[in-house]
Amino acid sequence: MNTTEINEIQHKVGIIGKSVKVKEIINMIMSVADTIIPILILGESGSGKEVIANAIHELSDRKEKEMVSVNCGAIPEGLIESELFGHEKGSFTGAISSKKGYFELADNGTIFLDEVAELPLQTQVKLLRVLETGIFMRVGGTQYKNVNVRVLAATNRKLEQMVENGAFRMDLYYRLKGVQVEIPSLRERKEDIEQFVNIFIADFCKQNKIKPPAVNPEAMYILQNYQWPGNVRELKNIIETLIVLSRGEEITPQIVKEHLVIALPKENGEPDPAFLPAVTNKSVEQAERELIYRAIVSMGVEMTEIKKFLASSMQHMDRKIDLLAGNTQNFFEDDNEEIVALDELERKAIVNALKKFRGNRKKIAERLNISERTLYRKIKDYGLENE
């Protein structure tokens, strides 16, 4: 496939980027779009897995039918089977009528199972049966139903490791990965960042009817050399913030630095290890907390509390802390400062997010970079249901 054809497809399905890895992905999805083989899309949170799923559907012979998207991590465990496969009237408390599930709604079309790794083991068994036979039964039902559905699945989890740990079925894993598409992180495709920035500026300014700001070359250099742990989603949020703060004027390096913990390369072109995230064997709970702490900065939590947390748990990252605070002063001079408990800091971050987004769970989960299921669990743990 030549460059012109690839560009036409990118424009048609909304895939942004000129990097080699993006072109490889386009070639791959073009090869499998018209088949019925399941496709497993892997990539970090915010890297654009749903964009690829939409592209596959739009390039397939099922594009006239609806693609039903399901966030498996956002549905409570007790309701997941009913949501996927439907239920009959009276099958459980509150089932006042029969209801079609997502698989029935997607019949002759495509179903996209996002965060598929969050499915309970019991539900995994039923999903495997649908994949192998096209047959399922509604919750509380007595008759089998047939569907013709193309299944796309996505996750940011390491499924092979989950299989080894018994958290994900091996047979389902191999069934889902008929073809595997790996989405590179934004830091692996730096040559695409300028295109993303320009598109995000144009779209946001058009929607809000404001003057598009210019981007200072040094500011663009900083954006291209940031590590982007939240990938494209984080970049989009940052750019929208910078547009508002620039008030139609130039986006300067100073404004960018105030909103990023910079990981600029040294003179030899290699990233400075002092600014890069450390690789550790963290639990899921620890990883979730780190993502929440990262989001605290953009939600206006008092800097003094952030200092206390950083002082107690990240003393080896002095340079990064200085940049986060926006100055070069030493934060750890006062040994008598009260240390805030991690649970309390996490709770306050969630409370602030609930207020900022007026209880919109989806937006809150996206900003905190955790699944909606994890957010619901933490809200319940901290007794914030009425916030």
| Residue ranges covered by each domain of the chain | 3-184, 187-274, 278-381
**For position 285, what pLDDT does the model report?**
54
Round to whole Å and give the CA distance between 115 and 73. 6
pLDDT for position 330:
45
**CATH (one of 3.40.50.300, 3.30.160.60, 3.40.50.10800, 3.30.2230.10) for 3-184:** 3.40.50.300
Q: What is the pLDDT of residue 288?
A: 55
Could you tell me the end-to-end alpha-carbon distance of the chain, in angstroms, rounded to an integer?
A: 53
Looking at residue 311, what is its pLDDT? 52
pLDDT for the residue 289: 55
Sign of CA dihedral 301, 302, 303, 307: negative
The pLDDT assigned to 294 comes to 52
Third-level CATH fold of 187-274: Helicase, Ruva Protein; domain 3 (1.10.8)
Tell me the backbone φ, ψ of residue 111, rounded to 5 degrees: -120, 135
Please answer whether residues 309 and 342 qualify as being in contact, where contact means their C-beta atoms are separated by less than 8 angstroms. yes
Q: Is this prediction's pTM over 0.85?
A: no
Same topology, domains 3-184 and 187-274? Answer is no
Q: According to the model, what pLDDT value does residue 275 have?
A: 39
Rounded Cα gap, residues 356 and 299, in angstroms: 8
Residue spans of the chain under pLDDT 70: 1, 261-342
Q: What is the pLDDT of residue 110?
A: 96
Spatial separation of the C-alpha atoms in residues 382 and 346, rounded to whole Å: 10
What's the CA gap between 189 and 21, in Å, rounded?
A: 8
Cβ neighbours around 339 below 10 Å, total? 11
Whole-angstrom distance, CA of residue 189 vs CA of residue 225: 11
SS3 168: coil
Q: What is the pLDDT of residue 102?
A: 96
In this predicted structure, what is the pLDDT of residue 263?
Answer: 45
How far apart, in whole angstroms, are the C-alpha atoms of residue 48 and residue 55? Answer: 11
